[in-house]
Amino acid sequence: MNDLATLILRIAVGIILFAHGLHKFQKWEELNRIWRYDYGLPPGSVGLAGVVQIVGGVTITLGVLSPYVAPIQVFVMLVATWVAIWKHREPFRSTPHGKGWDVNFLLIVALLALILLGDGEWSLVQWMM
């Protein structure tokens, strides 16, 4: 039963990360400007975060070294949470009138769980062994 729960968690987290990474390339120009001038992040940060989230999302979904990929994703989500709290002044809870950083927090906790759980038996790594 734990392996099924790990699989479900991996798929959900992986799809969310992949979608967030893909969004960065779909809104490249706008996000690059905002990240550089409003947040003070270096040029290329949007692309780097996008690649990290896309690759991380795929590897976590498939169950390929999740305990090693997840800490990198935690770092990306901590930066996103920092931006949400200190740059956007977002509240914790998302509402119909605006987003909060509650989803960031949920992803961080889910990624920490994957670090502890590992890939599980229903993963590409286990299938190949």
Three-class HEC string of the chain: CHHHHHHHHHHHHHHHHHHHHHHHHHCHHHHHHHHHHHCCCCCCHHHHHHHHHHHHHHHHHHCCCHHHHHHHHHHHHHHHHHHHHHHCCCCCCCECCECCCHHHHHHHHHHHHHHHHCCCCCCHHHHHC
Q: Which domain holds residue 93?
A: 2-128
The per-residue pLDDT string of the chain (129 residues; one tens digit each, 9 = 90 and over) reads 899 999 999 999 999 999 999 999 999 999 999 989 988 889 889 999 999 999 999 999 999 999 999 999 999 999 999 999 998 899 999 888 888 999 999 999 999 999 999 999 999 887 877
Global pTM value: 0.91
The region, left, alpha or beta by phi > 0 then psi within -120 to 50, assigned to residue 72 is alpha
Residue whose pair of structure tokens reads 């967030």 in the numeric block: 20
Give the number of domains in the chain.
1
What is d(CA 62, CA 36) in angstroms, rounded to the nearest whole number?
33
